[in-house]
Amino acid sequence: MSPELETVTMKTSHVWLRRASVPMAIAVIPAVLFIGLYILYSIWTLVVSFSDLGLMGRSAIHPSFVGFDNYIRLFTRRGFLESVWTTTTFTFFSAIVGQCGVGFLLALLMKNPRIKVRGLVEFALLFGWLAPDVVAAFMWNAFASRDGFIGVLVLDTIGIDRVNLLNNYAMEVVVIANVWKGTAWSYLLFSAALDTVSKEIIEAAYVDGAKSIQRIWYIILPLLRPQIATNLLFVTIWTYAFFTLIYALTGGGPGRETEVLSILMYKQAFEVGKLGMGSAVAMAMMGIVGFLSIFYIRMLKEPK
């Protein structure tokens, strides 16, 4: 490129950048406002967690600073630790094993040209993903109640007494419901990621005698390491803070069997009326999710 042409090109690009700077700045404003509000809300929640702020009574008008009392009571009470275990169990089986594992397997299976039900599978997954949580909860309640689909059409047919699955197997039901609700994200991500895997590498491994499991374990999974870690990061964060579907389906019951941390936070803040304690639960959740996020981000780094 001649010096004159290079000078003209640089001047043109500078003019374009100056003209585009204002629209670009305007486009960034909503994102900056959103992040700013999120930071302010997080700071407010942290401050409230050190107080006895309530919804009613004296503490609603004149809250007092209580230091770490909320956190001490939180970590010394059995209910909080039970909710941590319940949330971790729910996240592991519904997000990590369920959404991520099932999404990967389905994406792998649907790449097989002999599979003729790809459209049906994708419709079922996308329907679950797009359905509002309350609608999904209503559907699963209709499936799992004593007089629902499973009780009438399945248990009666095979001669087993009907049971209310939401009473007897509440955790299993909410896990399956969340797997159906969120697997579409993992499926779409892994389906796109599998398209980037070189067919020549897979064919070379096949020629060398590698079985299907070996090709998946030693070739496909290592190549998809960044996508797997990214997917795990998102589904773990989403599921650990999951609320609407579980609350609409079981309300945290029966007893406290499905009382995840988000439901415990809601009950403490709005049913009991202790905003300070509810904020402490929220900060504890943020700490746990932050730790898990750091773990997954480290997974994104290429092994040396």
Q: How confident is the model at residue 270 (pLDDT cuts 50, 70, 90)?
A: very high
Local confidence band at 297 (pLDDT 50, 70, 90 cut-offs): confident
Count of CA atoms in the C-beta half-sphere (13 A) of 225: 12
Which of the four pLDDT bands, split at 50, 70 and 90, describes residue 8? very low
Q: Is the pLDDT of residue 71 over 90?
A: yes
- 279-293 tens-digit pLDDT: 999 999 999 999 988
Check pLDDT > 70 for residue 94: yes
pLDDT interval class at 302 (50, 70, 90): low
Position 154 scores a pLDDT of: 63
How many CB atoms sit inside 10 A of residue 42's CB? Answer: 13
Q: What is the pLDDT at residue 293? A: 87
**What's residue 206's pLDDT?**
82
Specify the pLDDT at position 14.
55
Mean per-residue pLDDT over the chain, rounded: 86
Share of the chain above pLDDT 90, in %: 52
Treating both helix axes as pointing N-terminal to C-terminal, what angle do 69-76 and 78-91 enclose, rounded to 10 degrees? 70
Using CA atoms, how far apart are residues 232 and 236, in angstroms rounded to an integer? 6
How many C-beta atoms surround the C-beta of residue 54 within 10 A?
A: 19
pLDDT band at 52 (very low <50, low <70, confident <90, very high): very high
User: pTM of the entire structure?
Assistant: 0.85
More confident residue, 207 or 100: 100
| Banded model confidence at residue 153, pLDDT cuts 50, 70, 90 | low
| 243-262 tens-digit pLDDT | 999 999 999 988 899 999 99
Whether the CB-CB separation of 212 and 280 falls below 8 Å is answered with no
What per-residue confidence (pLDDT) applies to 287? 93
Greater model confidence, 180 or 155: 180
| Per-residue model confidence (pLDDT) at position 194 | 92
Per-residue pLDDT reduced to its tens digit, 201-243? 888 888 888 888 888 888 899 899 889 989 999 999 999 999 9
Q: How confident is the model at residue 5 (pLDDT cuts 50, 70, 90)?
A: very low
Helices marked H in 170-272 — which ranges?
A: 170-194, 199-207, 212-215, 221-223, 225-240, 244-249, 261-266
Which DSSP string do the residues of 100-139 spell out, in sequence order?
IIIHHHHHHHHTSTT---HHHHHHHHHHHHHS-HHHHHHH
Each domain of the chain, given as residue ranges in start order, spans 74-300
What's the DSSP call for residue 96?
Answer: I
Contacts of 282 (CB under 8 A, 6+ apart): 45, 49, 265
pLDDT digits (tens, 9 = 90+) for 14-47: 555 566 566 777 777 888 888 899 899 889 999 9
Q: How confident is the model at residue 151 (pLDDT cuts 50, 70, 90)?
A: low
Percent of the chain having pLDDT more than 70? 87
* b/e burial code for range 82-107 (CB count within 10 A of at least 16 → b): ebbebbeebbebbbeebbbebbbebb
163, with CB counted inside 10 A (0-12, 13-18, 19+), is: middle
Q: Above 90 in pLDDT, residue 278?
A: yes
Q: What is the dihedral of CA 255, 261, 266, 272, to 10 degrees?
A: 60
Inter-residue contact 260 to 87 (CB < 8 Å):
yes
Looking at the domain 74-300, which fold is it? MetI-like fold (1.10.3720)
CA distances from 303 to 45, 215, 231 (A): 38, 20, 18
Q: What is the DSSP string of 143-178?
A: HHSTTSHIIIIIIHHHT-----HHHHSHHHHHHHHH
